[in-house]
Amino acid sequence: MFATQVMKQLLQTIIFASLLFSLTACEEAAELDDGPDDVLAFEAIAIGHVGLGRDTVEVILRSQTELDEALERFTTLEAVPEVDFEQYMVGVIAVPTESGGYIVEVKSVEQTGDEITVHYVLNVPAQDCITVQALSLPHQIVQIRRSEGNVTFVQERDRYLCGM
């Protein structure tokens, strides 16, 4: 009889602890939801490796005049297509490097409140890659669904192997 009471007491304690833990876990999960309010659609419209200047460029352009001025600083591999600035804005990211083989690639554009974050990767060639030993300015130009807000850029670096 004593063993039955102990088992019953133990079972009640386990059920109570499980209930308490599950209620606490639900509350914590609600507080962790810090994701973006919106993911803004974007499309790469130009890339290149040559340009003027030795400073990193991370800029959002909201007019054709601003785009025309920016394009004077970069040589893209193909002509930049027309952009409808009523619907889109343009992001230009350029990172100066000491050699060739680097690639700039936008991964996502997210908006939270009035903050817009452009996440991009600077792909870096590994030691086994054969690259041009000259100053380079890898860049990517993207058109992004138009939105208002303060823009910040977040760079990641990722090394790739050439397998030579």
> Which regions of 1-149 does DSSP assign to beta strands (E)?
38-39, 42-51, 57-61, 74-76, 88-94, 103-112, 115-125, 139-145
The boundaries of the domain holding residue 15 are 1-33
* pLDDT tens column, 130-163: 999 999 999 999 999 999 999 999 999 999 999 8
The per-residue pLDDT of the chain, averaged, comes to: 87
Is 66 a residue whose pLDDT tops 70? yes
- Do 43 and 124 sit in the same domain of this protein? yes
- Do 47 and 19 sit in the same domain of this protein? no
Residue with tokens 């009523």: 86
- Do 51 and 93 sit in the same domain of this protein? yes
- Do 146 and 113 sit in the same domain of this protein? yes
- Do 69 and 91 sit in the same domain of this protein? yes
Query: Which carries the bigger pLDDT value, residue 125 or residue 13?
Result: 125
pTM recorded for the entire structure: 0.77
- Do 129 and 150 sit in the same domain of this protein? yes
- Do 3 and 55 sit in the same domain of this protein? no
Is 30 a residue whose pLDDT tops 60? no
For β-strands 115-125 and 150-160, DSSP reports them as parallel
DSSP state, residue 161 = -
- Do 24 and 97 sit in the same domain of this protein? no
- Do 3 and 68 sit in the same domain of this protein? no
- Percent share of the chain, pLDDT over 90: 75
Predicted pLDDT of residue 41: 95
DSSP state, residue 63 = S
- Do 88 and 15 sit in the same domain of this protein? no
Residue 35 binned pLDDT confidence (cut-offs 50, 70, 90): confident
- Do 93 and 115 sit in the same domain of this protein? yes
- As for how many domains the chain has, the answer is 2
- Do 68 and 135 sit in the same domain of this protein? yes
